Amino acid sequence: MHDESRRIEERVQRLHDQRIKSAIYAATVPFEVEAWQAPGEPVPFEEAAAASYAPFAMGTPWGPPWGTTWFRMRGQVPEAWAGKRVEAVIDLGFVGDWPGNQAEALVHLTDGTPLKAVNPLNQYVAIANPATGGETVEYLVEAASNPDILADNFSKTTPLGDILTAGDKPLYTFRSADIAILDEEVWHLDLDVQVLRELMLELGEHDPRRHEIAHALDRAMDLLDLDDVSGSAPAVREALKPVLSKPAHASAHTVSGVGHAHIDSAWLWPIRETKRKTSRTFSNVTSLADEYDDFIFACSQAQQYEWVRDNYPKVWARIQESVKNGQWAPVGGMWVESDGNLPGGEAVARQFIHGKRFFMEHFGIETKGVWLPDSFGYNAAYPQIAKLAGNEWFLTQKISWNQTNRFPHHTFWWEGIDGTRIFTHFPPVDTYNARFSGEEMSRAVRNYQEKGGASRSLAPFGWGDGGGGPTREIMERARRLADLEGSAKVIVEHPDEFFAKAREEYPDAPVWVGELYLELHRATYTSQARTKQGNRRSEHLLREAELWATTAALHAPGYSYPHEKLDRLWKTVLLHQFHDILPGSSIAWVHREAEAEYARVARELQALTAEALAALGSGTTRVFNTSPYDRAEVVHTADGAPVYVEVPASGSAPLVDAEPPQPVTVSGRVLDNGLVRVEVAEDGTLSSVRDLRANREVLADPGNLLRLHTDLPNYWDAWDIDKHYKNRYTDLLDASSVTVVEQDPLVGAIRVERDFGKGSKITQTITVRAGSPRIDIETDIDWHETEKILKAAFPVDIRAPHSSAEIQFGHIQRPTHTNTSWEAARFEVSGHRWVHIGEPGYGVAVINDSTYGHDVSRTVREDGGTTTTVRLSLVRAPRIPDPEADQGRHRFTYALLPGATIEDAVAEGYALNLPLRVADAAGAPAPVVSTEGEGVTVEAVKLADDASGDVVVRLYESRGGRARGVLRTGFPLAGAQITDLLERPLEEAPVDGDGAVPVELRPFQILTLRLRRS
């Protein structure tokens, strides 16, 4: 037989694209359209319905950036269309085919009922099936003219990312708004041909099935009457039935399809637009559920449900009905799909607490899995946190984006830092926006790493990132692929069902230990530094407010614990931990609003803490320590005078001078407190840091070396830092001044000022205080660079085989060598409050109050010694998607801690992030709780969420070893329970004869205790 493959493939493609698709709608009549441009921000339906509309013609430009135009559409179904399937078809002037980053609209009935959204891939709204003929149709359509930030494929900067800079030129030209007949036979033919053609092209040249499909399509096309596509469509479909009905091989891979609509809570649009995106997408989804009984939709992010509940009650009611019918599956159990690296441990716990409680309260459903497809890597504490929140499985897709190494598993057990394991799956289809194309199905089978051990994978299907969700075309593809020779089999099912089957099939799945590090998007640890600082400070202010509110609730008659205010503030912080807000990868508008929200949160939390302390009475100036460690350090009074104080963990003490071990001396550019001696060079670097306790020099080369690197990644400016950034740099060695600014027995400080680059300035104050080996570097940057990254380096004379970086509820060790490609790929990593390096008998920590990104490397010197260098990533200057990212003022502190153990690093990390607070208080209430035992660290103290008055304490083992100790209370204790994160009892905790709770923890174990008061 002659090979006619090319002719057939080209013929089928042209007939499909040019003739079949164009015949899907058999006839149309136009709507009569009027328009009203809403001024400013979006308005409620009632206001739009009462507005004055003007005639609007097709082909007219509309829609300024971020604007809202309401269209009133009126029309009548022709009498002759009785018995037909009739739809409204609306084209707002869509650009490209991505639903989420351009014009989109929500169609309402005139009584305000939302019907369905329209977007490039979902332009229809059902009118009647069948029509009686003569129906009057009237809609109010809320159209959002969101700009296409992705235009030019992120290759150019754009002012469109903020309403303040976007201008008012219309972005779109309205193409059409019609009432139309859907020719169902042609529509089904279109899908038959698509599925077969795509399958054919994925099969091998020597696969008989490929040629069988090709010749069947060729013969079917002979039956297509180009002058009457509609009339000939049934015959063409009949000719294709034999190849569409051949069953899949018995050993074919099974793809469990789960409807999904990934909606970024903010990204290339502001939060206010996400609220509308949820209504549009969820309207589409509930509409599709009405059409397809076998449709199942998985949806995460409790925050988005709450937005719909509060703003679109009719859509909310439809969601509730779909949940009852089993077609809508709440998943994920988190308040938002947060970043996987940057939120603190308690914040990740609260993501699950608030998310799972929302689903339980409103749907009576406890979610079983973590649905987190798009975050930029996942910390190694996740398995334990997830299991303590009642989860059984974990799903993500993002690791398939790895730049260097291919992850070796798709189904596996993920083991966290404490030993907890959770059953995990990475969909081999490598997308959370699947549409069941032939290429996707082939990719899923080809990629699947578990062949021979397991035979099923999951595919989230539906258009996403900016929402949109599944379409009827995707559902039809799934039906055709349910059992089709040459393809994987598709079954639409709940993700819980998939995970149950996968675990039963593959109980001995392999184990991956430690973090799921994404070898991409490493700059998200640093971009938009003020957003990250706002998050860090909010987390610690929340901790502080909860502790002192609990103290006041126990000891101050008449004080009422602010449950509702704390709940609201936590939810605000959790929202801004979304995986495009906190990582710094959103448009300018998002980060401008985030900074304002963090400032508001800080004011409210400061006020709550002040109210709690005021409730304790007044008359004595006291120092309050929120840290879980005893403190002996210098604090400043209201008039700025330094005082050396000793304050117990989670407690308070009078503001009374204590005797420091040794005063600070300042001689020239040398600071000495008897523990460390710091020499500042003329160029402003640290020329020497000598640990006087260990009698050793800490630095191998000048420390606090500021290095300005050129930073232009290959792609994704705000997201990525590529390895070549290291090759071009300037060391900032020209100090304009080096000045002693504080010289006191308790404090010595030297200020270094530098001007550099494009008008940037950095002022650093290097401070040594009595009684502490910690060397603080308070930093004030006026930053005006572009496409640069600023790093601060500490080259330490230590041979460290690995670095340890704090993560949620513990720390993770990473090799300092690059023996393998996996280690080399970790050239930029994340950590929280500290990074520690050490050799037997000696260690050094670098502490910070708002920095996450860093790198650690080592070299061997000519003298045979080893230099291990820790470098903090301080600030970047990407230009896409926010052309002004990070410009302006930054203030933060980082510190060098010589002679530090891991426990020292933990304690000083808390101390730097939880500064001592000076306030008036009458009495000296005992700390709510105190602990004895090394490594037993309290992370949260609060009243129980059920308003019972019980005290809830969350603690963990922080050193990485076993810990034994006791927890004592500052109130009469009636009993104690060990609970899960949602404060539900797991077992009774023993209480000894002294009223203390014995505690025994494995390495990095998290323990939540519920303490009943007498």
Annotated active-site residue in 148, 183, 190, 374: 374
Q: Which residues pair with 623 in a beta bridge?
A: 653, 918
Angle between helical axes of 345-363 and 529-555 (0-180°, round to 10): 70
What is the H or E stretch that residue 826 is in? Answer: none
Q: How far is CA 279 from its chain centroid?
A: 21
If DSSP codes are grouped into helix, strand and coil, which group holds residue 1008? strand
Residue 152 confidence class, pLDDT cut points 50, 70, 90: confident
pLDDT tens track for 1-42: 678 899 999 999 999 999 999 999 999 999 999 999 999 999
pLDDT of res. 566: 98
**Cα–Cα distance for residue pair 418/514, rounded to 1 Å:** 10
Mean pLDDT over residues 783-790, rounded?
A: 98
Residue 788 confidence class, pLDDT cut points 50, 70, 90: very high
Mean pLDDT over residues 581-593, rounded?
A: 98
Q: Judging by DSSP bridges, how do beta strands 104-108 and 114-118 pair with one another? A: antiparallel
Q: What percent of the chain has pLDDT over 90?
A: 96
Q: What percent of the chain has pLDDT over 70?
A: 100
* DSSP label of 79: G
Q: Letter for the amino acid at 686? A: L
If DSSP codes are grouped into helix, strand and coil, which group holds residue 76? strand
pLDDT of res. 1: 67
**Cα–Cα distance for residue pair 773/755, rounded to 1 Å:** 29
Q: What secondary structure does DSSP assign to 656-702, as a single string?
A: -----SS--EEETTEEE-SSEEEEE-TTSSEEEEEETTTTEE-BSS-
What is the H or E stretch that residue 116 is in? Answer: strand 114-118
pLDDT of res. 638: 84
Cα dihedral 312/318/324/328 (nearest 10): -80
- 702 has a pLDDT exceeding 80: yes
Residue 890 confidence class, pLDDT cut points 50, 70, 90: very high
Q: Is 294 noted as a catalytic residue in this protein? A: no
Residue 293 confidence class, pLDDT cut points 50, 70, 90: very high
Mean pLDDT over residues 646-669, rounded?
A: 94
Mean pLDDT over residues 868-888, rounded?
A: 98
Q: Are 410 and 425 in contact (CB under 8 A)?
A: yes
Q: CA Rg, the chain, in Å?
A: 31
Q: Is the pTM of this model over 0.75?
A: yes
Question: Which residue shows structure tokens 């995970």?
Answer: 499
Q: Cα angle at 391 between 455 and 831, to 5 degrees?
A: 100
Question: Which residue shows structure tokens 């004592």?
Answer: 968
pLDDT of res. 403: 96
pLDDT of res. 21: 97
Q: Which residues 6+ apart lie within 8 Å of 1009 measured at CB? A: 952, 953, 954, 955, 967, 976, 977, 978, 979, 989, 997
What is the H or E stretch that residue 334 is in? Answer: none
Six-digit token string for 86 = 């009739």
Q: Are 747 and 642 in contact (CB under 8 A)?
A: yes
Q: Which residues 6+ apart lie within 8 Å of 993 measured at CB? A: none
Q: Are 649 and 625 in contact (CB under 8 A)?
A: yes
- 200 has a pLDDT exceeding 90: yes
Nearest residue to 685 via CA among 665, 669, 667, 663: 669
Q: How far is CA 400 from its chain centroid?
A: 17
Q: How far is CA 309 from its chain centroid?
A: 22
Q: Cα angle at 540 between 539 and 545, to 5 degrees?
A: 100
| Residue 379 phi, psi (nearest 5) | -70, 155
Q: What secondary structure does DSSP assign to 644-665, as a single string?
A: EEEE-TT-EEES-----SS--E
Q: Within 10 Å of residue 51's Cβ, how many Cβ atoms?
A: 15
| Residue 121 phi, psi (nearest 5) | -105, 15
Q: Judging by DSSP bridges, how do beta strands 136-145 and 124-128 pair with one another? A: unpaired
Mean pLDDT over residues 286-312, rounded?
A: 97
Six-digit token string for 530 = 């003020």
Mean pLDDT over residues 183-197, rounded?
A: 98
Mean pLDDT over residues 51-74, rounded?
A: 98
Cα dihedral 807/812/813/817 (nearest 10): -60
- 994 has a pLDDT exceeding 80: yes
Six-digit token string for 704 = 């606090």
Q: What secondary structure does DSSP assign to 510-521, as a single string?
A: -EEES-B--SS-
Q: Is 82 exposed, middle or buried (0-12, 13-18, 19+ CB in 10 A)?
A: middle
Q: Is 220 exposed, middle or buried (0-12, 13-18, 19+ CB in 10 A)?
A: buried
Q: Judging by DSSP bridges, how do beta strands 114-118 and 985-989 pair with one another? A: unpaired
**Cα–Cα distance for residue pair 275/1010, rounded to 1 Å:** 36
pLDDT of res. 1011: 98
Compute the mean pLDDT over every residue in the chain, rounded to the nearest whole number: 97
Q: Which residues 6+ apart lie within 8 Å of 75 measured at CB? A: 29, 30, 31, 32, 88, 136, 137, 138, 179
Residue 125 confidence class, pLDDT cut points 50, 70, 90: very high
Q: Which residues 6+ apart lie within 8 Å of 921 measured at CB? A: 613, 616, 617, 618, 619, 620, 622, 624, 652
Angle between helical axes of 345-363 and 302-311 (0-180°, round to 10): 50
Nearest residue to 804 via CA among 919, 960, 660: 960
Q: Within 10 Å of residue 818's Cβ, how many Cβ atoms?
A: 14
What is the H or E stretch that residue 89 is in? Answer: strand 86-91
Q: Within 10 Å of residue 606's Cβ, how many Cβ atoms?
A: 14
- 1008 has a pLDDT exceeding 80: yes
Q: Letter for the amino acid at 691? A: D
